[in-house]
Structure 1
């Protein structure tokens, strides 16, 4: 199914431009996309960005003194679909446990062909899917050839999604390890994995250092309160470490042979907790969209220890959000509001 603006791709919307379709988390939960489709949509958005046909400016960030909350705003344009979008996210209670935090994120899409609004939607699921898809693409492109083992730290949303997406992109992985401290979260990781790969299971590890020593790919997908802090010295030659949330110590970045980021500018906005004692971050060797396109090298040798920083690109949210909005419209999901009347 094409998402090109030259095809009848845009969701039906009012032609007066005064109403907006609102899509709740419950609406979007009614729609399923195969994992391979999600990966393909995200990969296409990254490639279009690298070609200069899309725009993904550096995100804005605000946080108060004391750091009890953080808010981000991202503006972007998808050139292959002719869609402009704004994404916002706000998290409150950063010093509290996960269950006590408040998190809100939205994505608003506008049709830059007709000049009309398309939809405003909850972006939590879209953001979670695109992040896990990017991790899978990073592993596909940057892991040592013949990679067989992966370790994931964390059992939250990304901890649960990472393994199914990794197996979608790297089906040769045969040892799946998990470091998690919540029994309920471990069960959820297993359930998510078996939903997509019924014949696969995950090995729960307690000796983090020993597991890291055996892992070709290490994904830091834990929350901010994780006890996990993988050090560079634990990684074997050729290992790829991917940072999504927490679970990797700064040494994995500063001691890497190569540093790849989805966006160097955004790493310097959201990656400050990985800075050295002087508050500095190392230079990025390549941005991932260029690696995907084959215009910049990712791995240069089998023993390279690579650090990959997975920060959100709003163009990938747009690609997924547009697909979800089309599916929702076709099924009559959502609520239209006369926002501008």
Structure 2
């Protein structure tokens, strides 16, 4: 049996002939704080920067007509002693969002005992991991005394962006949102009030004016967004973070410094930010190295910084393992005799 020590006690994982499956509802029922999520993600980055984890480049499969896309990402967390593979598959890319199908799973193995830990739906892991990374980027790269933030987009990544930002930058005063979907705007407001009931959300319609007042801009929108913030709209000291869509290539190409969670992934998934010559700007530093203190992020309070937030599987592994710890301690999930 695999034994996992957690703050809640010691949990027992399946033996070598069973695999514990954590469904969407199992994962949804696990309580975890925003601070816990940020801490786990930060540790994953620091471990990678220390050379104790492995994060190979993802594999991608996409048919010629582009109706679907699939990814496979293998990695190892050296501190947690876990090897895992994450798979993501989206079908119906040419359809409206409500007609698309998306499935993502994470399978974890204990690299000290050689036994499986769990397989879980990875949707909530990704929904938490990405805004946590943005919040860490803001903590490390935003100008000193930043007081205002603008979130563009109200989808999965936009809905928790502000609660995570307030977790790492509690002195933020003005919280702005630009969105075009009433249900999404309502969801963003509900999430903010769930975590920070005393904070108010300002819905903005003049994107240029909002961007001019924002110290931090998070672009989380989908590809169909009408938003496209230009560099000239931003404060001289602004931090702009690209997660999805919503800011123009000029924000990258005129930035004083460019930071990426992974330069290799930025060059694969960030091609829409290429300049007129078809090229992307060179990255000044990768974020894991910034966190570890081996590379500089912001070097001057007045710098305008562009940050590219692309997912690294080591963060999924660390957070997924944390969920598995909590689930196993609570007896959640179903043990499946997969190898009998």
Write out per-residue CA displacement over residues 232-273 of structure 1, whole angstroms, 9 at most, x where no aligned residue.
Answer: 111110100001111111111122111101111111121122
* Cα drift, residue 38 of structure 1: 0.5
Pairing 1:275–2:274 present = yes
Aligned to 1:302: 301
Q: Is the 8 Å Cα contact of residues 19 and 339 (structure 1) preserved in structure 2? A: yes
- Rounded to whole Å, the distance in 1 between the matches of 2:292 and 2:14 is 38
TM-score by length of 2: 0.96
Aligned to 2:89: 90
1:113-262 counterparts in 2 under 5 A? Answer: 113-262=112-261
- Compute the RMSD of aligned alpha carbons: 1.8
Aligned to 1:14: 14
Aligned residue for 2:291, secondary structure, equals helix
Aligned residue for 1:12, secondary structure, equals strand
TM-score by length of 1: 0.95
Q: Is the 8 Å Cα contact of residues 5 and 80 (structure 1) preserved in structure 2? A: no
Q: Is the 8 Å Cα contact of residues 149 and 216 (structure 1) preserved in structure 2? A: yes
- Rounded to whole Å, the distance in 1 between the matches of 2:293 and 2:9 is 29
- Rounded to whole Å, the distance in 2 between the matches of 1:261 and 1:128 is 19
Structure 1 stretches of 4+ moved >6 Å: 3-10
* Cα drift, residue 184 of structure 1: 1.1
For structure 1, the 5+ residue unaligned runs are: none
* Cα drift, residue 10 of structure 1: 7.5
- Rounded to whole Å, the distance in 1 between the matches of 2:128 and 2:9 is 21
Aligned to 1:74: 73
Q: Is the 8 Å Cα contact of residues 21 and 120 (structure 1) preserved in structure 2? A: yes
* Cα drift, residue 277 of structure 1: 3.5
Q: Is the 8 Å Cα contact of residues 8 and 326 (structure 2) preserved in structure 1? A: no
Aligned residue for 1:260, secondary structure, equals strand
For structure 2, the 5+ residue unaligned runs are: none
Write out per-residue CA displacement over residues 79-138 of structure 1, whole angstroms, 9 at most, x where no aligned residue.
Answer: 001000001111122233322221111100000000001111000100110111000000
